[in-house]
Chains A and B, each alone.
Chain A
Amino acid sequence: MSETKPDAGAAPRKYVPETEGLNRLFFQACAGGVLHLQRCDGCGVYRHPPRYYCPQCFSAAWSWQPVSGAGKVASWVTTHFTVDRAWAEEAPYTTVVVELDEGPRLLAATRGLTEASLEAGLRVQLTGEAKGEDFVFFWVDRVDSRQLS
Chain B
Amino acid sequence: MTMSGTTAIVGIGETEYLRGAEPSVPELILGASMQAISDAGLTPSDIDGVIPPPGFISTEEIAAHLGMPDIHYSITVHMGGASPTAALQSAAMAISNGLADAVLVTLGWNGYSAMRPRPGVERTRRRLDLGPVLESSRNFYAPYGVRTAAQWYSLYLQHYVDRYGVQPEDAAEIALACRSHAHLNAKAQMRGREMTLEDYLASPPIAGPLRKLDCCLETDCAAAVVMTSLERARDLPHVPVVYLGGAEGHPYPADEITNRPELLRLGLHSAAPRAFAMAGASPTDVDFLQIYDCFTYVVMMEIEALGLCEPGGAKDFVKDGNIRLGGRYPMNTHGGLLSQGHCWGLNHVVEATRQLRHDAGRAQVDGCQLGVVTGYGDLGDGSIAVLGRDR
Contact = CB atoms under 8 A, between A and B. Distances in A.
Contacts of A17: 138-139, 142-143
Interface of A: 14-17, 19, 23, 27, 47-49, 55, 74-84, 86-87, 90, 92-93, 95, 97, 104-109, 135, 137
A95 B158 contact: no
Interface string B146-161: 1110010011001100
A81 B206 contact: yes
Nearest 3 A/B pairs, CB to CB: A87-B145, A80-B205, A77-B154
B contact residues, range:
20 to 34
B207 A49 contact: no
Nearest to B146: A95
B151 A15 contact: no
Contact of B155 (A27, A75, A84, A87): A75
Contacts of A16: 143
29 contacts: A14-B143, A17-B139, A17-B142, A23-B135, A49-B135, A49-B136, A49-B140, A75-B155, A75-B159, A75-B263, A76-B158, A79-B145, A80-B204, A80-B206, A81-B204, A81-B206, A81-B207, A82-B145, A82-B147, A87-B145, A95-B144, A97-B258, A105-B258, A105-B259, A106-B140, A107-B141, A107-B258, A108-B144, A109-B145
Interface in B39-57: none
Contacts of A105: 258-259
B244 to A, nearest CB: 35
A86 B135 contact: no
Nearest to B215: A81
Given A48-B259, A105-B258, A77 B208 contact: yes
Nearest to A76: B158
Given A77-B158, A83-B148, 8 more contacts: A14-B145, A17-B143, A49-B259, A76-B158, A77-B154, A79-B146, A82-B147, A105-B258
B258 A83 contact: no
